[in-house]
Amino acid sequence: MKRPTSLRAARKPPLSKKAASHRLTGSTAAASKPAFKPVLHRRAFEDVIFQIEEAILDGRLAVGDRLPPERELAEAFQVSRPSVREALRVLEAFGILSARRGAGSESGSVVRGENNQGLANTLRLYVSLLRIPLLDLLEIREALETWSFRGAAARATPDALTRLGRLVDQMDAALDPEVFLERDTEFHVAIAKMSGNAVAPLFTEALREAIARQILDAFRKLDDWPAEHAWLVAEHRGLVAAIRSGVAEKAAGAASDHIRDFYRRMFGPQPSVAAPARPARASLGRRKRKAGGGNSRLA
């Protein structure tokens, strides 16, 4: 019988009578939490991943909880240690677990939720494999960030605005393109967090990471990087001012113009893909089609 291609779609294996009675340990693990079950179906490492994922979804594992040592996990799952090791490595690659090397109580795998690397890595791979056009990413980024800027303008606090100003200062001091790009990402993720929506910063960072290499290559190919650097710093100071104004549509418009102008300068005319209408303001880089009508396009 063919094994299921999706771990989540696979049927959960029945509890064996010989299941190990090992209990989870960790900062929030309770003594009443159920034990992991021996692996009965699928490839061993897949079932280990499935059960750890289920424990997270069920609330039996939370951010900061530490998994038992590799040897104890192998006994609980009744699989080999290499199978446990492979499962943990996959979960680490997706940013679900963080491995702490060494010995003692501080070593082992810990459930983490402080970064977005797994989502960013997955999106970057799919963008490459599916050859997703750059303009498709631009449109999604524009829609997401204009929404974030509206929320940030409505919710900005003095402390948050001060942090944005400091990030722009760090961008100003970052003369190396790669360091500048890192500070730039921090700036936009900070604004997404200010929007008040917990999902916005996750997707903002993932979208930026998905095309980070392309942007960095474009920076390095510029004839005059210092001039572009100065221009971008000035633009970001303007974005902070737009958020500080407290006018949501002003902030959203500033974000939209910044994103469109940046992509046009870095990558030139984009493939012919329909762009969302913006009747209130002349859209950046759009061209009207010749007589006969039709949708506007991003240049």
What are the structural domain ranges in the chain? 1-114, 117-276
The amino acid at 227: A
Quote the tokens at residue 231: 């221009």
Lowest mean pLDDT: which of 69-73, 227-231, 286-290?
Answer: 286-290
pLDDT at 95: 79
Determine the residue type at 217.
D
Instruction: Tell me which H or E stretch contains 97.
Output: strand 97-100
- Tally of CA atoms within 13 A in the half-sphere of 252 that contains its CB: 15
SS3 category, 36: coil
Hey, how many other C-beta atoms are within 10 angstroms of the C-beta on 12?
A: 11
- What tens digit of pLDDT does each residue of 214-273 get? 999 999 999 999 999 999 999 999 999 999 999 999 999 999 999 999 999 998 865 543
CB neighbours of 145 closer than 8 A, spacing ≥ 6? 188, 191, 192, 204, 255, 256, 259
Q: What is the three-class DSSP state of 287?
A: strand
Q: Kindly report the CATH class assigned to 1-114.
A: mainly alpha
pTM for the model stands at 0.66
C-alpha to C-alpha distance for 66 and 111, rounded to whole angstroms = 6
Q: What is the pLDDT of residue 155?
A: 96
CA-CA distance, 271 to 203, in Å (whole number)? 24
Inter-CA distances, 246 with 35, 136, 152, 156, 272, Å: 52, 30, 8, 8, 35
Question: How does pLDDT run across 2-32, given as a tens digit for each residue?
Answer: 444 443 444 444 444 344 334 344 444 444 4
Max intra-chain CA distance, the chain = 76
Q: Where are the alpha helices (DSSP H) in 58-113?
A: 70-77, 81-93
Nearest to 83, CA basis, from 97, 73, 98:
73
Compute the average pLDDT of residues 107-127: 78
The percentage of residues in the chain with a pLDDT greater than 90, rounded to a whole number, is: 45
Token pair belonging to 151: 């929320």
Spatial neighbors of 248 by CB under 8 A, at least 6 apart, are 149, 150, 151, 153, 154
Residue that is written with structure tokens 């606090």 in the block: 157
Q: Copy the structure tokens of residue 33.
A: 């939490």
Residue 115 confidence (pLDDT): 61
Q: What is the DSSP letter of 279?
A: T
Q: Which fold has domain 117-276?
A: Four Helix Bundle (Hemerythrin (Met), subunit A) (1.20.120)
- How far apart are the C-alpha atoms of 60 and 54, rounded to whole Å? 8
Task: Give 274's strand partners.
Answer: 297
| The predicted structure's pLDDT at residue 116 | 65
Same fold for the domain at 1-114 and the one at 117-276? no
Is the pLDDT reported for residue 277 higher than 60?
no
Sequence-separated (6 or more) residues with CB below 8 Å from residue 57: none
